[in-house]
Amino acid sequence: MIEEASYPSLSGRTALVTGAAGGIGQAICQRLAGQGVTLYAGDLKQVSIPTLDGLISLELDVTSTEDWAAAAERIRADGRVLDILVNNAGIYAPASLENETGDGFRRLTDINQFGVFWGMKSAAPLMPEGGAIVNLSSIGGMVGYNGTFGYAASKWAVRGMTRSAARELAPRRIRVNSICPGVIDTPMFYENDPAQLATFRETVPLGNLGKPEDIANAVAFLASDEAGYITGTDLLVDGGMLA
């Protein structure tokens, strides 16, 4: 059960969350819904979160411009504007420079980078009265790690796009920030080899893996008016790993 933080400025707003079917995405949906947000939940398959009534499920492949156009049209057809976009969808698929393939690198770029780009491009016209965009990057987008070459490239790109978009969209009162999770207890973490898993665990100063709810709490803050003077920045949620 997620304990609700008090962010009253979210009540009555509308959000689109990508990669919403599980893990961090599902936790984000639960957090925002708990604050009174109307949710459009996008993923490759129909999203069903039993505890959330009124969730609007979208089949959304973030690499598909057609899917993004359909999502935007659905929001317009429902007579809504968009207040919050959370670009959460992503993949890990760790591989070293020497072992990465062209197809693997392109897939990481398509999902982790292009998906964020097209999400922001699609969402901005739906935010005529301002809004908040939160992009999921990673500590792997801030420092180098062995064996995550393509992933790191895509997550560094997310941070760069976030800052550029923050400057471009600031006159329209659209804030754009990124969250950089550390090691979070989701299936993605266990894609690492066992030795790397142990190393990651040992290097968290707080001594434990993060929970999806830790990222959801950060999203709720950045989406709220309490973060109204914050844009173009990276919020680390990493248990002190990069301290």
Residue 3 has a pLDDT of: 52
- 191 belongs to a structural domain: yes
Q: How far apart are CA 13 and CA 60, in angstroms?
A: 21
Q: What is the pLDDT along the chain (243 residues), one digit of tens a residue?
A: 445 555 557 999 999 999 999 899 999 999 999 999 999 999 998 778 777 878 999 999 999 999 999 999 999 999 999 999 999 999 999 999 999 999 999 999 999 999 999 999 999 999 999 999 999 999 999 999 889 999 999 999 999 999 999 999 999 999 999 999 999 999 888 887 787 778 888 889 999 999 999 999 999 999 999 999 999 999 999 999 999
User: What are the b/e assignments for 49-71, b being 16+ CB within 10 Å?
Assistant: beebeebbbbebbbbbeebbeeb
The DSSP line for the chain is -PPPP--GGGTT-EEEEESTTSHHHHHHHHHHHHTT-EEEEEESS----TT-TT-EEEE--TT-HHHHHHHHHHHHHTT----EEEE---------TTT--HHHHHHHIIIIIIHHHHHHHHHGGG-TT-EEEEEE--GGGTS--TT-HHHHHHHHHHHHHHHHHHHHHGGGTEEEEEEEE-SBSSGGGGGS-HHHHHHHHHT-TTSS-B-HHHHHHHHHHHHSGGGTT--S-EEEESTTTT-
User: CA dihedral defined by 100, 181, 239, 212, rounded to 10 degrees?
Assistant: -110
- Cα–Cα dist 164/54, whole Å: 34
Q: Is residue 26 part of a domain?
A: yes
pLDDT at 190: 81
What's 221's domain CATH number?
A: 3.40.50.720
In a domain, 33, yes or no: yes
* Residue 99 counted as domain residue: yes
Instruction: List residues bridging with 175 in a β-sheet.
Output: 132
Name beta bridge partners: 43.
59
Domain membership flag for residue 1: no
Residue 1's pLDDT is: 44
* Count of the separate structural domains present in the chain: 1
- Residue 18's region, left for phi above 0, alpha for psi from -120 to 50, else beta, is beta
Residue 72: inside a domain:
yes
* Confidence (pLDDT) at 179: 98
* Residue 242: inside a domain: no
> Which amino acid, residue 213?
E
pLDDT (0 to 100) of residue 8? 59
Its domain, for residue 112, covers 10-237
Pairing of strands 131-136, 84-87: parallel
Residue in 40, 151, 190, 229 annotated catalytic: 151
Q: Is 80 part of a structural domain of the chain?
A: yes
Does 7 participate in catalysis according to the annotation?
A: no
